[in-house]
Structure 1
Amino acid sequence: MKSQLLAKSVTALIMFFAATPTYATTLTFDEMRSPNCDWKIPNPYMGFNWNGWRAADVTEHVGLPTSGPNLIFSFDTSSIFTTSGANINFIGAYLCGSYKDGLHVEVIGKRDGITIYDSTVTTIAHTASWFEFNFFGIDELVFTGFGGIPVGPYDSDLNGVSLDNFTYENFDPIPEPSTILLLALGLLGLAIRKRQRQN
């Protein structure tokens, strides 16, 4: 009876650590307001620093009408990193080429300055496309646009990237199997000692 109770307790403990829920957050950038067509994002914003990014009103900037009214865009290599140093899981975002069709966007996920993930996607000019990355346990993202064909109305050779609905969740690592095993052995040891005392 007691051994069954112990087994159930250990199983419940393992399931608790394995099934701890995480909740995704989506940044739409719609809280920002400016009288200008585009403006620099204040750092920090929503727990991140946005180096090389600017915000724009969708009605004034050809790009991503995904949530409205705002999006963010960059002209060159740009980065996003957490201000607290905490790690996140980057789920994905809507991307498009601001000035080029078929613009390639390399997205790098880093932890403590070390590249952990590196993925390249191809965007469509002026059309929102959702890209899922699933970069887990990172504290910095680097976006670089390259290639593609310039299209109107700007007909620019800039490798601009537009982004909206930046979706992430807090990084909540599941304990290593060795940690769970040690907890289970500790519970087992306590149960054996208690039984020996009773005998």
Structure 2
Amino acid sequence: MSISTVAKKLSTAAITTTVIVVGIGAVAQATVLTFDDIAPISYLDQIPNGYGGFNWNNFNYVNGSSPLVTLTGDDNGRVSGDYVAFNGFGNPALVSDSVFDFNSAYLSATWNNGLSVTVEGLKSGATLYSKTVVVDTTQPTLVNFDYFGVDELKFTSFGGVEPDYLVKTHGSGTQFALDNFTFNEKATSVPEPTLLPALLSIAALSGGSVLRRKQLKQS
């Protein structure tokens, strides 16, 4: 193998390693809220403020294994464990904190197939992001939001039609089920413009040292 080929491989490896190290810092703090580590309940209760470090407005959690919610989205929408969150009375619900990144969540409709759920990401009262998804009662839908640097989420649900197999449960409304809420505690950090060249320089120097040692062995 020629010296030039070795140099190219070393440079590529060094740069790749630097990029990986920088990238790790952006994802290391991801947290998943499953709603299974709140106080055990037989049916439903409010999500307490402070859970996951957030304030929860009009968000409850329900035991999806309860006979009272069999076949609904609260049952079928479970991703992990027995519990899911839902918006009380089908009204808008809020999650707020200091600045964070909202990565993803699983959403299901509790009663209405074809339910629309709009999720807004706000900072200081201004809407930075908005996405509307359509979900059903039969299974959870993973939604990747990638809302960076927000301090509040607003969930609003509307529409849809209750399927015949749920009419006999005597429940109805525009509630949605939420599970595996994934976020970063702080907004994703981006390396300063002056930092990346410095990292690349260090990587290049490291690669050069290895190359010089190889040349000495061959001489």
TM-score using structure 1 length: 0.75
1:81-100 matched pairs, under 5 angstroms: 81-82=96-97, 85=98, 87-100=99-112
**2:138 counterpart of 1:134:** no
1:135-150 matched pairs, under 5 angstroms: 135-150=147-162
Residue of structure 2 in register with 1:76 after alignment: 91
How far apart in 1 are the matches of 2:41 and 2:195?
Answer: 55
Q: How many pairs are equivalent? A: 170
Residue of structure 2 in register with 1:196 after alignment: none
Q: Secondary structure at the match of 1:46?
A: helix
How far apart in 1 are the matches of 2:21 and 2:37?
Answer: 35
CA contact 1:94–1:131 (8 Å) conserved in 2: yes
Residue of structure 1 in register with 2:128 after alignment: 116
Deviations 1:25-48 (A, max 9, x none): 111011123444100111121101
**2:190 counterpart of 1:174:** yes
Q: Runs of 5+ in structure 2 lacking a partner?
A: 1-10, 199-219
Residue of structure 2 in register with 1:164 after alignment: 179
Deviations 1:31-88 (A, max 9, x none): 1234441001111211011110111111013322210111111121001111xx2x22
CA contact 2:114–2:136 (8 Å) conserved in 1: yes
CA contact 1:17–1:174 (8 Å) conserved in 2: no
CA contact 1:99–1:155 (8 Å) conserved in 2: no
How far apart in 1 are the matches of 2:158 and 2:179?
Answer: 19
CA contact 1:111–1:139 (8 Å) conserved in 2: yes
1:56-67 matched pairs, under 5 angstroms: 56-60=62-66, 61=69, 62=72, 63=74, 64-67=77-80
Q: Secondary structure at the match of 1:19?
A: helix
TM-score using structure 2 length: 0.69
Cα displacement (A) at 1:157: 4.4
Q: Secondary structure at the match of 2:144?
A: strand
Q: RMSD across aligned C-alpha pairs, in angstroms?
A: 2.5
Percent identity for Structure 1 against Structure 2 = 32
Distance 1:140 1:78, change over 3 A: same
**2:40 counterpart of 1:52:** no
Distance 1:35 1:133, change over 3 A: closer
Q: Secondary structure at the match of 2:36?
A: coil
Q: Runs of 5+ in structure 1 lacking a partner?
A: 1-7, 185-199
How far apart in 1 are the matches of 2:96 and 2:127?
Answer: 13
